[in-house]
Amino acid sequence: MIQTSDRFRDHVARALTDDNLKVALTRTTGLLQTRRKQVIDEYAEYGEARKRAQAIKEHTLNHLDHYLEMFEANATANGAVVHWAQTPQEARRIVSEICVAAGAKTATRVKSMLGEEIGIAEALSDAGVERIETDLAEHIIQLADDPPSHIVMPAMHKTHEQVADLFDDKHGVAPDSHDIPDLVGSARRELRQKFLNADVGISGANFLIAETGATVTVTNEGNSELTCTPPKVHIVTVGIEKLVPGMDHASVFLRLLSRAAIGAEITQYTTFYNGPKRQGDADGPEAYHIVLVDNHRTEMLGSDLEPMLRCIRCGACMNHCPVYAAVGGHAYGAVYPGPMGSVLTPALSSLEAAKDLPNACTLNGRCKEVCPVNIPLPDMLRNLRARQWDANLPTRVSKAALGAWSFLAKRPRLYHLVTGLGVHGIRLWAFGRSRIKRMPFAGGWVKHRDLPRPEKGSFMQQYNASLHATRNRK
């Protein structure tokens, strides 16, 4: 469920001293960045597809009521039972009641961030149902009793060496070796029978198609199909912003999603669910429920937070964020980490509850650059900071520091004089050393890294000197 960032600073301090976390994050984010770049470079229509995706989402959000009604009518005609949940509590109650009515003892679950947001685990525990996570990464974190640390790769914080130790410890039969294929085989052995015996299967949906009433999931492991088909009841919990008008529109997003998320042209499995088992079908659930969740989404419509509803949860913004790469997802203390989470968490909880998150950003703009639906995350974070300022939320020290900076920034000569003196002072403090390990009054800057000794003179002084030298040469 959405939490708050009230312990963000403590979490960051802990994350920065976690060597395993550093290894895990560097391995994975680096690989994802390289793969994404490669497939985007090879996708000649990327720019056009991105514009089209943004336009489709904007159009759908502008007519959300119309498309939601269309979806409900078509899904109902397909045999689904459609439920509406305004809040996470309502969504949990609906899921619990369906499980109780089905007499369920076990439920398999395929990863969905909406499920985390509304607290599916709590709903199942209320209904006395054993929860079985089926995504490999979710299986890992369920064994480790960790929350997800990334929206696409929930176990990104774990190295494969840590996973091997975990499987040795928790699996009924230990893995044959610590090689990755044997670890995957061990998880498959552990989960296979549970898939077949589950009473209820719970999934999210990457997209909802208004004109057919279908829900769509994309996975790489085939666990969605195994979760949604064998049990007698299938429950889909999904945010209302996942709607697209038709199949052609969904195909635009399917091309963008896998490229942005994992650097692949397409995912291994894309499945369209169109209702319960029909006469003559070989398999499928007897009952099919769709729980459409609002949870503050309609409040975001028409506000400066509306662009966030375009998000297709690809995770590219976190894979390219230097703050996420340094501290990992758990530090954010919320279901949605990284740049998109720093915007979404205050919207789903409150600006006060998540007050550190909009400030956990260098505003370097990479998140917007890689976002497949062009969400202006840096602008939105800046707006949230301005709102925090108006609501008097920053601390006195932050206000005083920003006030002093604002005073100087409006007086360029004074600004250059003071920053020049500051640089000079730091060079003197470095006293011939190339790296600074201690700093008076600013110990936080060098607590977890060394500061290189600054070059002689400020950037502007160096720039003016080089301009002058170029002119003299001409």
104 touches ligand SF4 (CB under 6 A): no
- Within 10 angstroms of residue 27's Cβ, the number of other Cβ atoms is 13
- Minimum distance of ligand SF4 from residue 3's CB (angstroms): 19
Residue closer to ligand SF4 by CB (options 28, 212) is: 28
Residue 243, SS3 per DSSP: strand
Residue closer to ligand SF4 by CB (options 250, 316) is: 316
Residue closer to ligand SF4 by CB (options 201, 315) is: 315
Size of the site for ligand SF4 (CB under 6 A): 14
Residue from 372, 381, 385, 388 touching ligand SF4 (CB under 6 A): that is 372
The answer to whether 179 and 161 have CB atoms below 8 angstroms apart is: no
Contact track, ligand SF4, 307-326, x by CB under 6 A = ----xxxxxxx---------
Q: Dihedral of CA 23/26/27/28: which sign?
A: positive
Residue closer to ligand SF4 by CB (options 166, 316) is: 316
Residue closer to ligand SF4 by CB (options 51, 399) is: 51
- Minimum distance of ligand SF4 from residue 321's CB (angstroms): 9
**Hey, what long-range contacts does 225-228 have (CB within 8 A, 24 or more apart)?**
225/269, 225/271, 226/108, 226/134, 226/195, 227/108, 227/109, 227/110, 227/134, 227/195, 227/198, 227/201, 227/202, 227/203, 228/110, 228/201, 228/203, 228/271, 228/273, 228/285
- Within 10 angstroms of residue 453's Cβ, the number of other Cβ atoms is 16
Residue closer to ligand SF4 by CB (options 376, 394) is: 376
Compute and round to an integer the Cα radius of gyration of the chain.
25
Residue 270, SS3 per DSSP: strand
- Minimum distance of ligand SF4 from residue 372's CB (angstroms): 6
- Minimum distance of ligand SF4 from residue 374's CB (angstroms): 8
- Within 10 angstroms of residue 72's Cβ, the number of other Cβ atoms is 18
340 touches ligand SF4 (CB under 6 A): yes
- Minimum distance of ligand SF4 from residue 377's CB (angstroms): 6
375 touches ligand SF4 (CB under 6 A): yes
To which H or E segment does residue 72 belong?
A: helix 64-77
Binders of ligand SF4 among 241-270, rule CB under 6 A? 260
Interface residues toward ligand SF4, by CB under 6 A: 260, 311-317, 340, 370-373, 375
